[in-house]
C-alpha cells in the first residue's frame, strides 16, 4: 500500500509552522522561493504509474497481501508435481501401455482468504502439465466446470463433493485430481499470519483409493 | 521588512487552510442523495471522491479510500449489486486491516498539532466485524456458499482477536447467526451448531428454533440451544418436506454521523474533568484567562435520525412478521460514549500545543526584529497569532466513520412451497420487490436495505 497522502492543506500547515519557527532568523527572498519550491514539489511528486513486469525486475517478488500470489503458486505447483513425478503411481503410468483418462476437480477452499481464482490458476497449470506430459487423456477443466455448475444448480447451491463419483462416471475417467486448502489464520495487535496447507491427491474412481497425496505449506503475513 | 513578508506568507497559508474540510463533507453529497432515495447518485458522488469514473473501477487503497469504499459497498448492496458490493467490501477489508497496522511518527506529530483526522483511520471493533458480516450477506444473496464460508472464517478470526483484546460487542450475534446459516446450508452441521451457539450468547433469536430442531435432531445440545428448542422435538428438513427456504434480511435506517463541533474551553474542561492532567488543566486555564483560547474543535455523534418502526414483509400478498435482531445504532453510541472524553482531551491538548507554538514564534520574531531595530513587538504578536491561527484552521475534527451503516436489522426465515413468489419489503418509506422462483430443497437469501 502506498504511504498515506497528506491533504495539501496539512502540508501547507506543516511548512508554515516550520517557516514560522524559523522567523527568529533574518528572512531573505531566497528562503521564500525555497519554501515555494518545496510546496511545488510536494504538490507534484506523487501519482501512480503502470509498469510492465519485464521492465521492472523483481516486480513479482514482494508480497502484496496475505493471499496466494504467482510466487506462491509456482512454489506449490513445483512441489506438488515434483512429488507426483516421483510417486509410484506415476511410475506405473509410465510403464503402462494405456493412457489413463484423468479429470481435475477444483481444490476446495477451506481458508479464510478468497483465493479461488489463484486455485483455479493452479489447476490450469496442473492441466497444462498433464497435457504436456503426453501420458494422459485429460478431460477439459472447462467441461467439468459446466457439469459441476449443473449439479450445483440441482443441489440448490453449493457443490456436493459426494457427487464427484457421478460426474466422473459421466466423464468416463479412471482417475481424478482434487484437493483442499486449509489455513491457520491468526491475528495479534501488530501482525496477521496466514499459514496455508495445500493438499493435492489423485484418486482412483473405481475404488475411491487415494493413489497419491502431497502437502505444500506456504506462510504469508502482514507485519507492523 | 523580512518579518512583514513572512507574515504575509503566513496569512496566505491561513487563508488556504481555512478551506480545510473533514470527512463529513466528503460524504455529504452521497448521504443527501440517500436521504432523497437516490442511491445511484450516491454511488456517483462517492466515485467522484474516490476519483474513479464508474462503480466498476476501484481506487488505490490510500488515504481514506478504504472508508469510502465501505460506503460505496453498502450502497451497492442496497441496490442489489451484490457482485460489485462484495468486491468493494473485500478491498475495504484489506484496506482497513492495512490501516490498523500503519504507524508513523509523522502521523503522531500531525495528530498532536493538527487533528486526529491526520493519520490512518482506525476502525472501531464493530465496524471490523460488520465488514465480514455484510460481505457474507452478499455471498449468501448470490448463493455462493464457498465465498460466504470464507467470510464466516474471516469473521471468526476477527472475533477471536477482539475477544483477546477484551473488546466485546453485541454485533457478534448477527455475524454468528449468518455464519451458522452459511455452514448449515453447506451441510456442515457441527460448524453450524457452533456458530448458532455463539449467536445465542448475544440474543435469543426465536427464528433459530426450527433450524436448531432440524440440526440437533431433537437431541439435547447445550443449555442455550435446549432452552430455545424447548423440548419441541426433531423437525424434518425443508428438502425432506419438498419445500424451499427463504431468509429475508432487512437493514434499515442509517447510523448517526459524526459532526464537527466547537465547544468553549470551559465546557470542554468540565467534560474531561476526571481525566485531564493537572498541568494541562492549569495551562488551559492560564491561556483561557489571557483570552487566547476560547474554543476547542472536536467531533460529536449527531442525534438519531428519528425513531425506527419495524419494516413490513409481504410474501405473495400475505403479511409475515419480521424479527428485530440488531440495533447497530445502540452499539455505535455505546462505543462513542466510551471514546468521547479521550477525544475531547486530545482536542484540548492540541489547542494548548498550538497556542504554545504561537507564543514561541512571537517571542522568536520579537527577538529577531529587536536585533535590527527596537519595537518589533507588534510584528511578533501578529506572527504568533498567525501561527496559532494557521494551526487552528488545520484542525479538522476527525469525523471519519462508516457513515452508511444501517441502524437496525430485522429478519424473517420461512419455508415456502416451490414455485414463483413475490416478496415485498417496506422500510423507511421505501418499497422493494423481489421475484423468486424456488425449487424444492433450495434456499434463497433476500437482502433488502433502506439506507435512510
Q: What is the interface size between A and B, counted as CB pairs within 8 Å?
A: 154
Using alpha carbons only, what angle is made at residue B153 by residues B149 and B155, rounded to the nearest 5 degrees? 115
Count CB atoms within 10 A of the CB of residue A159.
19
Q: Residue B127: CA atoms inside 13 Å, Cβ hemisphere, count? A: 27
What is the helix (H) or strand (E) element at residue B327, kind and residue range? strand B323-327
- Among B118, B157, B443, select the one facing A156 at the smallest CB separation: B443
Count CB atoms within 10 A of the CB of residue B363.
14
pTM: 0.83
Count CB atoms within 10 A of the CB of residue B89.
29
Interface mutation vs chain B, best among A3, A4, A69, A221, most B CBs within 10 Å: A4
Query: Which triple of cell numbers denotes residue A149?
Result: 455448475
- Among A13, A21, A190, select the one facing B101 at the smallest CB separation: A190
Q: What percent of chain A has pLDDT over 70?
A: 72
Cross-strand bridge partners of residue A210: A203
Q: Give me the pLDDT at residue B209, please.
A: 96
Closest CA–CA distance from residue A179 to any residue of chain B (Å): 15
Q: Which of B125, B12, B111, B122 is nearest to B397 (CA)?
A: B111
What is the helix (H) or strand (E) element at residue B318, kind and residue range? strand B318-320
| B365 chain-A contacts, CB cut-off 8 A | 23-24
Q: Between A124 and B20, where is the model more confident?
A: A124
- Among A20, A112, A156, select the one facing B153 at the smallest CB separation: A112
Q: Give me the pLDDT at residue A183, please.
A: 96
Q: Which of B44, B27, B148, B31 is nearest to B86 (CA)?
A: B148
Does B94 contact A28 at a Cβ distance shorter than 8 Å?
A: no
User: How far is B270 from B161, CA to CA, in rounded Å?
Assistant: 35
Contact A187, A115 (CB under 8 A): no
Q: Give me the pLDDT at residue B38, please.
A: 96
User: How far is B257 from B259, CA to CA, in rounded Å?
Assistant: 6
Q: Give me the pLDDT at residue B369, please.
A: 67
Query: Which triple of cell numbers denotes residue B182?
Result: 452459511
**pLDDT tens track of chain B, all 452 residues?**
555 555 555 544 444 444 457 899 999 999 999 999 999 999 999 999 999 999 999 999 988 999 999 999 999 999 999 999 999 999 999 999 988 887 766 666 666 666 677 788 888 888 989 999 999 999 999 999 999 999 999 999 999 998 888 776 667 899 999 999 999 999 999 999 999 999 999 899 999 999 999 999 989 889 999 999 988 999 999 999 999 999 999 999 999 999 988 877 777 777 777 777 787 777 777 766 666 556 788 899 998 888 889 999 999 999 999 999 999 999 899 888 888 888 888 888 877 777 777 777 777 777 776 655 555 566 666 666 666 666 666 677 889 999 999 999 999 999 999 999 999 999 999 999 999 999 999 999 999 999 98
Helices (H) and strands (E) in chain B, counts: 16, 10
CB contact A78 to B (< 8 Å): no
Over residues A130-159, the pLDDT tens digits come to 999 999 999 887 777 777 776 665 544 445
CB contact A98 to B (< 8 Å): no
Q: Give me the pLDDT at residue B44, please.
A: 97
| A17 chain-B contacts, CB cut-off 8 A | 113, 357, 387, 390-391
Confidence of residue A47 (pLDDT cuts 50, 70, 90): low
User: How far is A104 from B210, CA to CA, in rounded Å?
Assistant: 39
Closest CA–CA distance from residue A97 to any residue of chain B (Å): 40
Contact B434, B445 (CB under 8 A): no
Interface mutation vs chain B, best among A7, A25, A63, A158, most B CBs within 10 Å: A158
- Among B90, B365, B391, select the one facing A13 at the smallest CB separation: B391
Enter the DSSP assignment of B255: P
What is the helix (H) or strand (E) element at residue B94, kind and residue range? helix B82-100
User: How far is A88 from A86, CA to CA, in rounded Å?
Assistant: 7
Does A23 contact B361 at a Cβ distance shorter than 8 Å?
A: yes
Does B9 contact A19 at a Cβ distance shorter than 8 Å?
A: yes
Cross-strand bridge partners of residue A181: A109, A198
Interface mutation vs chain A, best among B5, B6, B131, B386, most A CBs within 10 Å: B6
Q: In chain A, positions 112-151, which contact chain B (CB-CB < 8 Å)?
A: 112-114, 116
Closest chain A residue by Cα to residue B87: A114
Q: How far is CA A34 from CA A20, A27, B89, in A?
A: 14, 11, 44
Contact B444, B248 (CB under 8 A): no
Q: Give me the pLDDT at residue A136, please.
A: 94
Poorest-pLDDT segment among A33-42, A43-52, A203-212:
A33-42
Does A17 contact B368 at a Cβ distance shorter than 8 Å?
A: no
Closest CA–CA distance from residue B305 to any residue of chain A (Å): 31
| B97 chain-A contacts, CB cut-off 8 A | 192, 222
Q: Give me the pLDDT at residue B376, please.
A: 56
Mean pLDDT score of chain A: 78
The answer on pLDDT for A199 being more than 60 is yes
Closest chain B residue by Cα to residue A162: B187
User: How far is A178 from A195, CA to CA, in rounded Å?
Assistant: 20
Three-state SS for B224-254 is HHHHHHCCCCCCCCCCCCCCEEEEEEEEECC
Contact B425, B432 (CB under 8 A): yes
Q: Give me the pLDDT at residue A142, please.
A: 77
User: How far is B71 from B263, CA to CA, in rounded Å?
Assistant: 29
| B391 chain-A contacts, CB cut-off 8 A | 13, 17
Contact A194, A219 (CB under 8 A): yes
Closest chain A residue by Cα to residue B103: A224
Q: Between A219 and A6, where is the model more confident?
A: A219
Listing DSSP states for chain A in one string gives -PPPPPPHHHHHHHHHHHHHHTTTSPP-HHHHHHHHHHHHHHHHS-------GGGSTTTTSS--SSS--HHHHHHHHHHHHHHHHTSHHHHHHHH-SS--EEEEEEEEEESSS--HHHHHHHHHHHHHHHHHHTSSEEPPHHHHHHHHHHHHHHHTSS--GGGHHHHHHHHT-SEEEEEEEEEEEEEETTEEEEEEEEEEEEEETTT--EEEEEEEEEEEEEE-
Q: How far is CA B402 from CA A33, B126, B305, B337, in A?
A: 42, 10, 15, 17
Interface mutation vs chain A, best among B13, B128, B356, most A CBs within 10 Å: B13
Contact B128, B96 (CB under 8 A): yes
Q: Between A133 and A55, where is the model more confident?
A: A133
Contacts 24+ apart (CB under 8 A), A194-199: A194/A66, A194/A111, A194/A112, A194/A113, A194/A219, A194/A220, A194/A221, A195/A219, A196/A68, A196/A72, A196/A111, A196/A220, A198/A76, A198/A80, A198/A107
Q: Which of B162, B86, B103 is nearest to B129 (CA)?
A: B162
The answer on pLDDT for A33 being more than 70 is no
Closest chain A residue by Cα to residue B441: A156
Contact B206, B228 (CB under 8 A): yes
Closest CA–CA distance from residue B60 to any residue of chain A (Å): 8
Closest chain A residue by Cα to residue B393: A13
User: How far is A119 from A109, CA to CA, in rounded Å?
Assistant: 8
Count CB atoms within 10 A of the CB of residue A134.
7
User: How far is B314 from B320, CA to CA, in rounded Å?
Assistant: 6
Q: Which of B175, B189, B148 is nearest to A109 (CA)?
A: B148
Does B145 contact A32 at a Cβ distance shorter than 8 Å?
A: no
Q: Give me the pLDDT at residue A51, please.
A: 82
Q: In chain A, positions 38-77, which contact chain B (CB-CB < 8 Å)?
A: 48, 65
Q: Give me the pLDDT at residue B2, please.
A: 52
Q: Give me the pLDDT at residue B5, please.
A: 58
Cross-strand bridge partners of residue B409: B251, B326
Q: Give me the pLDDT at residue B106, please.
A: 66
User: How far is B212 from B193, CA to CA, in rounded Å?
Assistant: 8
- Among A3, A24, A192, select the one facing B364 at the smallest CB separation: A24
CB contact A16 to B (< 8 Å): yes
Q: Between A75 and B367, where is the model more confident?
A: A75
Q: Give me the pLDDT at residue B389, please.
A: 65
Contact B113, B354 (CB under 8 A): yes
Does A186 contact B110 at a Cβ distance shorter than 8 Å?
A: no
Does B143 contact A157 at a Cβ distance shorter than 8 Å?
A: yes
In the block, cell 440440526 appears at: B215
Does B361 contact A116 at a Cβ distance shorter than 8 Å?
A: no
| A195 chain-B contacts, CB cut-off 8 A | none
Q: How far is CA A147 from CA A138, A140, A213, in A?
A: 15, 11, 25
Maximum CA extent, chain B: 98
Query: Which triple of cell numbers denotes residue B300?
Result: 460529536
Matching CATH number, A70-223, of 3.40.50.10610, 3.30.365.10, 1.10.10.60, 3.40.309.10: 3.40.50.10610
Q: Domain map of chain A by residue range?
A: 8-40, 70-223
Amino acid at each position: 500500500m502506498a504511504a498515506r497522502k497528506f491533504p495539501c492543506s496539512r502540508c501547507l500547515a506543516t511548512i508554515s509552522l516550520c517557516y514560522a519557527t524559523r522567523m527568529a532568523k533574518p528572512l531573505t527572498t531566497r528562503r521564500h522561493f525555497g519554501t515555494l519550491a518545496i510546496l511545488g514539489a510536494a504538490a507534484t511528486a506523487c501519482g501512480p504509474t503502470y509498469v510492465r513486469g519485464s521492465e521492472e525486475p523483481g516486480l513479482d517478488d514482494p508480497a502484496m497481501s496475505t493471499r496466494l500470489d504467482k510466487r506462491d503458486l509456482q512454489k506449490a505447483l513445483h512441489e506438488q508435481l515434483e512429488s507426483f513425478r516421483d510417486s509410484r503411481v506415476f511410475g506405473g503410468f509410465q510403464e503402462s501401455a494405456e493412457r489413463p483418462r484423468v479429470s481435475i476437480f477444483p481444490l476446495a477452499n477451506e481458508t479464510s482468504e478468497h483465493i479461488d481464482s489463484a486455485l483455479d490458476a493452479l489447476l490450469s497449470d496442473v492441466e497444462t502439465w498433464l497435457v504436456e506430459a503426453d501420458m494422459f487423456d485429460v478431460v477439459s477443466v472447462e467441461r467439468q466446470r459446466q457439469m459441476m455448475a449443473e449439479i450445483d444448480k440441482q443441489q440448490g447451491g453449493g457443490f456436493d463433493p459426494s457427487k464427484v463419483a457421478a460426474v466422473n462416471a459421466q466423464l468416463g475417467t479412471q482417475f481424478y485430481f482434487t484437493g483442499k486448502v486449509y489455513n491457520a489464520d491468526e491475528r495479534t495487535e501488530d501482525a496477521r499470519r496466514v499459514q496455508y496447507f495445500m493438499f493435492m491427491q489423485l484418486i482412483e474412481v473405481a475404488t475411491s483409493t487415494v493413489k497419491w497425496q502431497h502437502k505444500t505449506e506456504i506462510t504469508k503475513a502482514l507485519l507492523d | 521588512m523580512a518579518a512583514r513578508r513572512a507574515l504575509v506568507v503566513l496569512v496566505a497559508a491561513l487563508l488556504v487552510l481555512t478551506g480545510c474540510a473533514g470527512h463529513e463533507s466528503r460524504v455529504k453529497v452521497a448521504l443527501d442523495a440517500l436521504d432523497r432515495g437516490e442511491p445511484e447518485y450516491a454511488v456517483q458522488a462517492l466515485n467522484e471522491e474516490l476519483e474513479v469514473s464508474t462503480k466498476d473501477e476501484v481506487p488505490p487503497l490510500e488515504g481514506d479510500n478504504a472508508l469510502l469504499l465501505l460506503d460505496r459497498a453498502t450502497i451497492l448492496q442496497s441496490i442489489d449489486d451484490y457482485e460489485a458490493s462484495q468486491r468493494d467490501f473485500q478491498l475495504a477489508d484489506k484496506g482497513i486491516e492495512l490501516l490498523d497496522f500503519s504507524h508513523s511518527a509523522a502521523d503522531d506529530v500531525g495528530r498532536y498539532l493538527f487533528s486526529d483526522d491526520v493519520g490512518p483511520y482506525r476502525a472501531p471493533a464493530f465496524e471490523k466485524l460488520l465488514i465480514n458480516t455484510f460481505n457474507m450477506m452478499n455471498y449468501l444473496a448470490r448463493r455462493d456458499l464457498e465465498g460466504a464460508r470464507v467470510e464466516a472464517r474471516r469473521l471468526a478470526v476477527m472475533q477471536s482477536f477482539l475477544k483477546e483484546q477484551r473488546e466485546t460487542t453485541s454485533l457478534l450475534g448477527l455475524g454468528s447467526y449468518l455464519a451458522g446459516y452459511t455452514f448449515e446450508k453447506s451441510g456442515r452441521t457441527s460448524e453450524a451448531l457452533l456458530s448458532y451457539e455463539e449467536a445465542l450468547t448475544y440474543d435469543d433469536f426465536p427464528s433459530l428454533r426450527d433450524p436448531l430442531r432440524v440440526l440437533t435432531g431433537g437431541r439435547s445440545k447445550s443449555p442455550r440451544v435446549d432452552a430455545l428448542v424447548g423440548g419441541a422435538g426433531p423437525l424434518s428438513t425443508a428438502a425432506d418436506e419438498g419445500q424451499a427456504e427463504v431468509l429475508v434480511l432487512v437493514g434499515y435506517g442509517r447510523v448517526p454521523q459524526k459532526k464537527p463541533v466547537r465547544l468553549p474551553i470551559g465546557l470542554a474542561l468540565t467534560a474531561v474533568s476526571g481525566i485531564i492532567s493537572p498541568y494541562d488543566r492549569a495551562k488551559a486555564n492560564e491561556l483561557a484567562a489571557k483570552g487566547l483560547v476560547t474554543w476547542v474543535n472536536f467531533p460529536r455523534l449527531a442525534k438519531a435520525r428519528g425513531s425506527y418502526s419495524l419494516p413490513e414483509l409481504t410474501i405473495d400478498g400475505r403479511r409475515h412478521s419480521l424479527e428485530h435482531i440488531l440495533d447497530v445504532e445502540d452499539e455505535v453510541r455505546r462505543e462513542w460514549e466510551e471514546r468521547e472524553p479521550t477525544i475531547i482531551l486530545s482536542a484540548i491538548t492540541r489547542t494548548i500545543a498550538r497556542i504554545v507554538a504561537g507564543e514561541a514564534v512571537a517571542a522568536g520574531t520579537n527577538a529577531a526584529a529587536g536585533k535590527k531595530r527596537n519595537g518589533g513587538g507588534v510584528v511578533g504578536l501578529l506572527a504568533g497569532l498567525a501561527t496559532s491561527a494557521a494551526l487552528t484552521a488545520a484542525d479538522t475534527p476527525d469525523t471519519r466513520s462508516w457513515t452508511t451503516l444501517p441502524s437496525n436489522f430485522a429478519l424473517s426465515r420461512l419455508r415456502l412451497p416451490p414455485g414463483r413468489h413475490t416478496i415485498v419489503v417496506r422500510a423507511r418509506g421505501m418499497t422493494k420487490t423481489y421475484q423468486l422462483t424456488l425449487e424444492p430443497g433450495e434456499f434463497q437469501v433476500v437482502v433488502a436495505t433502506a439506507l435512510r
